Amino acid sequence: SRIELVLGLILLHSVVPLQDNLVTCRRGQYLEAGKNGGRDKCSMCPTGQFQDKVYHREMSCNRCSIFDVYTWTRRILEDDCTRFHDIIYICKEGFYRNNNGDCYNCVNCKSLGKFEAQACTERENAVCCDKEGMKVKAGKCVAPEDYDGPETTSQPEQYKIKTSEVEPSAGGGAGSGDSGGGLSTGQVVAIVIAALIIGLVVGFLLGYFCRTVINFLKALCEPLYMLVRRNDD
């Protein structure tokens, strides 16, 4: 009946507030629940945190990513973290970004004894095929139109490289070696920092040892010096 319908709407309205009455926050803000039954409100994200959602009811902000030593050896910072977004970066030349947002070394097809069929880009690793001139089509290495031999359906090889470790991606072949054939930038930086720390420690110990020896010799020779002065007097 109409009476039951009206009573049902009143009950529903008392239990579930209408969407228009909900407080929604914008970018750079988070929802702060009202105290003692008060109305919710939006507050600014604190320093070091951000919120990039446009209209939301998130009750916290996200912590800004850290641009550490390992990061700047592979990335170029384009914008610092603000209340509205996390740090913005691009991968350096010779690196590509995977689905997780990490930067990896581009594979060096020549070092694997293969040919580069697709160059490394910001978003994709290079693709290596067995024969020169092959093209990548539907995820497979395909012979060019002027190739006399049979069309190959071999899978292209893609690799993601972390420092000196080569790990085949899904659907790729196995391989080993580094894209540059030598130490990565991160390894060089780590070696330099370790050498500086060792040099400082050795210098400190050497200085302490020299001061100790000088003080010992001074204490040893001082009675002899006083004895000589007395004889002279």
What are the sequence ranges of the domains in the chain? Answer: 2-63, 104-168, 183-233
- In the DSSP assignment, the letter for residue 157 is B
What confidence category does residue 1 fall into, taking pLDDT thresholds of 50, 70 and 90? low
Tell me which H or E stretch contains 96: strand 95-97
Alpha-carbon span 49 to 60, nearest angstrom: 9
**What is the rounded average pLDDT of the residues 207-233?**
70
Region 2-63: CATH code: 2.10.50.10
- Indicate if the pLDDT at residue 20 is higher than 60: no
Residue 46: predicted pLDDT: 96
Collapsing DSSP to helix, strand or coil, 174 comes out as coil
Sort 159 into a burial class: Cβ within 10 Å, 0-12 / 13-18 / 19+. Answer: buried
Greatest mean pLDDT among 22-26, 167-171, 212-216 = 22-26
Copy the structure tokens of residue 34: 């009202």
- pLDDT at residue 147 in the model: 43
State the Cα angle at 172 between 167 and 178, rounded to 5°.
Answer: 35
Range ranked top by mean pLDDT from 70-79, 157-166, 192-201: 70-79
